[in-house]
């Protein structure tokens, strides 16, 4: 049997080529941390006609339809009268809340498998470090002491996740899959396989059981300072605390007091009220605190660029973008 392969005619090729290069407009990129060249190459490979501009070289601001940014400064959006989409370059959108310069346009978060994987790796490391008594072994090494601590089965260790959103749910599932006894709490009812989920007024019941508490709450007006002295006192004495979310969600003076009293036995902190953390901050002098410089998770352009490009296509075609967030709500 001879297989007949039908090749597209030249007219089909011309139509396809024209569709691919149909101009979609201009995008302005802004970030003090991310590489604009990498983002330009990846987005141009998805959208060859995209006019990619890097702040401050914005050209004619009336051309700008899209912004891809991380923590834009006050007044950043004011020059762009034809803005149609804002994409946030990170997980937290607190820098987009309460702004007078941001018009009423769709705001999208990144749905980035790479970002999720990094966050899971950070929280898994932090939880396992406490579950396997690694801080005690680090201390023993400093004094040349052979210190045996009998390991506990993971299913007997209760880990609590505060905040069961996009990243919090992924973290909770990863810990449950590893064998930990995982509890979750959120303001709203959530359901995650393998995780006991509580919500609302059940926060006290949740905290009373948790040996290792992980903060994954977004920063909103309702969550600012939410993890305070009352939360720390509600935990079993000696509980460990991990903050991989936002610094202002936690009452830092209350955490310092709880660490000094032994109510909190140790903390792993990636985020703070002031960043970089000042050299004279008490956290630096605490042996029971591990500090990392806000790197629990970052955007991975290789996996995120496809979503950004798809949302630009959707907006250009008059459709609703994916992964919308509400800055007034905070997530």
Q: Which two tokens stand for residue 187?
A: 């303001």
46 neighbors 19 (Cβ within 8 angstroms) = no
For the chain, report the end-to-end CA distance as a whole number of angstroms. Answer: 59
Choosing from 99, 132, 187, 294, which is the catalytic residue? 294
Distance of alpha carbon 255 from alpha carbon 276, whole angstroms? 18
Strand 212-215's sheet: what is its strand order? Answer: 196-199, 181-186, 158-162, 212-215, 239-243, 264-269, 289-291
For the entire predicted model, the pTM comes to: 0.88
Distance of alpha carbon 125 from alpha carbon 135, whole angstroms? 12
Burial class (CB in 10 A: 0-12, 13-18, 19+), 302: exposed
Give 74's strand partners: none
DSSP letters spanning 57-90 = ----GGGEEEEEESSPPTTTTTT-TT--EEEESS
The DSSP element (H or E) to which 260 belongs, if any, is helix 252-261
Cα separation values, 283 from 141, 243, 277, 315, Å: 22, 13, 9, 46
Active site residue 294: yes
Cβ density class 227-242: b for 16+ within 10 Å, e for less? bbeebbebbeeebbbb
Residue 91 pLDDT: 79
Cα separation values, 59 from 41, 98, 211, 234, 268, Å: 19, 27, 54, 55, 44
Active site residue 246: yes
Residue 290 pLDDT: 98
Which residues, given as ranges, of the chain have pLDDT below 50?
1-20
Residue 22 pLDDT: 67
269 neighbors 248 (Cβ within 8 angstroms) = no
Residue 21 pLDDT: 52
Residue 94 pLDDT: 86
Residue 13 pLDDT: 35
Choosing from 53, 65, 246, 316, which is the catalytic residue? 246
| Residue among 33, 23, 268, 255 nearest 128 (CA) | 268
Q: Which two tokens stand for residue 59?
A: 């050209």
Distance of alpha carbon 185 from alpha carbon 203, whole angstroms? 7
Q: What is the DSSP letter of 91?
A: S
């Amino acid at each position: 049997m001879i297989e007949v392969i039908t090749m597209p005619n030249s007219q089909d090729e011309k139509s396809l080529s024209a569709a691919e290069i149909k101009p979609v407009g201009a995008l302005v990129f802004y970030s003090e941390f991310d590489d604009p060249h990498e983002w330009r190459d990846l987005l141009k490979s998805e959208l060859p006609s995209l006019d990619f501009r890097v702040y401050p070289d914005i050209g004619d601001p009336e051309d700008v339809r899209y912004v891809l940014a991380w923590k834009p400064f006050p007044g950043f959006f004011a020059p762009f009268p034809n803005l149609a989409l804002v994409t946030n370059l990170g997980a937290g959108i607190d820098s987009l809340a309460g702004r007078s310069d941001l018009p009423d346009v769709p705001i999208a978060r990144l749905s980035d498998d790479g970002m999720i994987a990094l966050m899971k790796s950070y929280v898994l490391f932090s939880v396992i470090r406490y579950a396997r008594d690694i801080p005690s072994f680090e201390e023993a090494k400093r004094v040349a002491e052979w210190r045996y601590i009998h390991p506990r089965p993971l299913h007997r260790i209760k880990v609590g996740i505060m905040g069961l959103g996009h990243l919090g749910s992924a973290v909770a599932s990863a810990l449950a899959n590893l064998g930990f006894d995982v509890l979750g709490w959120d303001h709203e009812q959530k359901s995650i396989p393998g995780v006991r989920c509580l919500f609302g007024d059940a926060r006290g019941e949740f905290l009373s059981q948790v040996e290792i508490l992980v903060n994954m709450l977004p920063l909103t007006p309702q969550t600012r300072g939410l993890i305070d002295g009352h939360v720390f006192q509600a935990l079993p004495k000696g509980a460990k605390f991990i903050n991989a979310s936002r610094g202002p969600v936690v009452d830092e003076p209350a955490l310092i007091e709880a660490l000094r009293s032994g109510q909190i036995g140790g903390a792993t902190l990636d985020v703070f009220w002031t960043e970089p953390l000042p050299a004279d901050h008490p956290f630096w002098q605490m042996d029971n605190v591990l500090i990392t410089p806000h790197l629990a998770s970052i955007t991975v352009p290789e996996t995120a660029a496809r979503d950004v490009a798809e949302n630009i296509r959707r907006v250009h075609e008059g459709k609703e973008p994916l992964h919308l967030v509400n800055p007034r709500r905070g997530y």
